[in-house]
Each structure stands twice: as C-alpha cells, then as structure tokens.
C-alpha cells in the first residue's frame, strides 16, 4: 500500500506546559518522508497554566495548530482532534513523552508495508529521578504506560497485546468504521482505558493492528508518580472505567458475579501470588499483586455501592 499522503500528530494537554514544551521542541527534529504533508495539533483541554504561550512559541518552528476542548477528560480532547483534522493518519503522543527523530517515518512505514489500520509503537521510560523506584519490576510496565513487545515489527493477532495513546496511530477510516474514543470512559481527570478499548474494538472488527518497535518514544515518569500511595489510589479510582470494559466483555464470555469468569479466576491466582511473594520477600512482586486485588475490590465497590460507575468516575476525577 502507498505511503499515507498526510499525517496529523495529536497531543492532548491539561496544565503541563513544561513537558509540552519539551515534546514540541523534539518535534523540530522529526524526519518526515518527502511528499508527506504533516501538522502538529495540540488540544488545550481547558488549561489554566502557560500552555497557550508554549504553543505560540513553537508555532513558527513547526506546522502547529491549537485546538480547544472545554469539557474535562482525555476522551473529549482526543475526539476533538479526530473531528478537527483531515489527515490520512493520526499519530498520538502524550504531552510528557519524547519521540525519536524517526518516529513518524517508522509509523508510516508500518502503515504502508503492512496495510495497517492501527499501529502501536514502543514506549521506553524516562525516569525523572534517573532510576525506577525500588519496588519496580517488569510487571509494572503497563501501569506506567510502557510498552515493549520485542524488536520485530509484526501484525498483532492477540488482543491482549494492546497499546497506549502515548504512542499509537490509526487511519482516519478506522475512526469512521468503529468509532473514535468512548465518552463513557476516559472522562474525568484521573480516568483512562479509552486507548485500550479502541485497540480491542479494532481487533474485534478484524482490522490490521501492527506493532512497530522502531516508532519509539520515551515516556517521562515524574517522581510524584513513583510512590506506592499514588498507584494504590490510581487503581482504586480507575475501577469504574475498568468495570465498564469488563462488563462489555462479559456480554461475550461466561461470567460470574457480574464479571468475566476468567477474570475472577485470574484474581484468585493473584491472591496466591501475593501471599507467595510476601513469604519470599519479593516486595516488588507483592506490591504488583496487591494492586490487582485493590482493583478487584474497587470493581465490586463500584458495582454495588455506586450504581452508576460513570458518575463515580466524574466525582473522583474532578
């Protein structure tokens, strides 16, 4: 398939002017294939800091356009970018990530060579402190939105190998075919899961999903997000969104007590792994499994105490 003719790089941001400045500076070094029209679209999600000043400062250095989305929540901001751009491909990167110079080129090569509908890129950590926390083990990659499925470009057939919007791209036709980002998840300031849901729907629709390790970004992990208390709260507050995803899945697979049966079985395994890790003094592993159990508790809290998970998401995210 020919190389896409145009690409929009979309960045959604809320009160993170300093890291936004870093990523826009990195955009000046991007290698874009000849003949490809490109633009950078920054969605201001009702920021109150110096975001607009940062955008203005870079506007004469790269093809940059500002959009404004007043409704809080990443899904609202992402859908604003989808509706306001007309490029063949939309590439997503977070405001706290830094792309390699060949990031765009590698993504577009995957779209062309594999006739891909959606491409997932590699995400490596950029630790603000210089090192991961003492309790970090590889199992935590997904919680930090880090991604590494190896060094080989390939078509992904297992939906469990999902992607994160910190480094992801799709053809405009994909959004027209399966819909863009769901507004019943990815709302509120601490919500998420909208990117994984998009990947799942792409697989369900039989779309071509490709992993491209050469499309690499480094994701800034601030010190404030490397504490155990942060992740305990993160797992608890994200439970309503996770519940919606699981309840969707439960319509297609056997369920028990309102959740997919396999999911409950896995959590029984997590409980055993937690006790085993405590006994063997593997503190990083123990914390990982503790978070899994916090999530399970949060799911049932959302299900039985908060009858409307979405309204709960809004309250914890405000």
- pLDDT above 70: residue 283: yes
Question: For the segment 216-229, what is each residue's pLDDT rounded down to a tens digit?
Answer: 999 999 999 999 99
Closest CA to 78 of 50, 104, 41, 124: 41
- pLDDT above 60: residue 305: yes
Band (pLDDT 50/70/90 cuts) for residue 21 is very high
Look at residue 318 in the predicted model and tell me its pLDDT: 31
Question: For the segment 129-162, what is each residue's pLDDT rounded down to a tens digit?
Answer: 999 999 999 999 999 999 999 999 999 999 889 9
Mean pLDDT of all residues in 172-191: 80
Give the percent of the chain with pLDDT over 70: 92
Look at residue 255 in the predicted model and tell me its pLDDT: 75
φ and ψ at residue 250, rounded to 5 degrees: -65, -15
More confident site: 254 or 112: 112
Bin 15: left if φ > 0, else alpha if -120 < ψ < 50, else beta: left
Mean pLDDT of all residues in 265-270: 92
SS3 12: strand
- pLDDT above 90: residue 250: no
Question: For the segment 183-201, what is each residue's pLDDT rounded down to a tens digit?
Answer: 877 555 455 688 989 999 9
Look at residue 191 in the predicted model and tell me its pLDDT: 52
- pLDDT above 70: residue 317: no
Band (pLDDT 50/70/90 cuts) for residue 314 is very low
The pTM for the full model equals 0.87
Band (pLDDT 50/70/90 cuts) for residue 234 is confident
């Amino acid at each position: 398939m020919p190389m896409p003719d145009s690409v929009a790089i979309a960045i959604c941001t809320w009160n993170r002017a300093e890291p936004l400045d870093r990523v826009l500076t990195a955009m000046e070094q991007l290698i874009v294939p000849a003949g490809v029209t490109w633009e950078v679209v920054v969605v201001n999600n009702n920021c109150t800091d110096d975001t607009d000043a940062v955008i203005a400062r870079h506007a004469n250095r790269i093809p940059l356009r500002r959009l404004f989305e007043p409704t809080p929540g990443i899904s609202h901001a992402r859908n604003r970018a989808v509706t306001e751009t007309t490029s063949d491909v939309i590439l997503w990167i977070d405001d706290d990530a830094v792309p390699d110079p060949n990031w765009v080129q590698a993504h577009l090569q995957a779209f062309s060579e594999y006739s891909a509908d959606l491409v997932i890129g590699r995400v490596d950590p950029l630790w603000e402190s210089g090192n991961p926390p003492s309790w970090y083990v590889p199992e935590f990659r997904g919680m930090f939105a880090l991604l590494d499925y190896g060094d080989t470009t390939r078509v992904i057939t297992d939906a469990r190998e999902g992607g994160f919007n910190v480094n992801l791209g799709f053809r405009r036709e994909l959004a027209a075919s399966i819909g863009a980002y769901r507004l019943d998840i990815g709302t509120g300031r601490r919500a998420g899961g909208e990117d994984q849901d998009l990947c799942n729907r792409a697989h369900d629709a039989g779309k071509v999903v490709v992993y491209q390790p050469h499309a690499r970004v480094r994701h800034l992990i601030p010190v404030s997000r490397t504490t155990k208390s942060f992740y305990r709260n993160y797992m608890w507050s994200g439970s309503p969104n996770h519940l919606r995803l699981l309840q969707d899945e439960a319509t297609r697979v056997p369920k028990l007590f309102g959740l997919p049966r396999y999911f409950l079985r896995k959590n029984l395994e997590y409980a055993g792994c937690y006790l085993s890790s405590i006994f063997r003094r593997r503190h990083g592993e123990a914390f990982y499994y503790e978070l899994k159990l916090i999530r399970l508790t949060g799911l049932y809290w959302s299900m039985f105490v908060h009858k409307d998970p979405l309204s709960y998401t809004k309250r914890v995210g405000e």
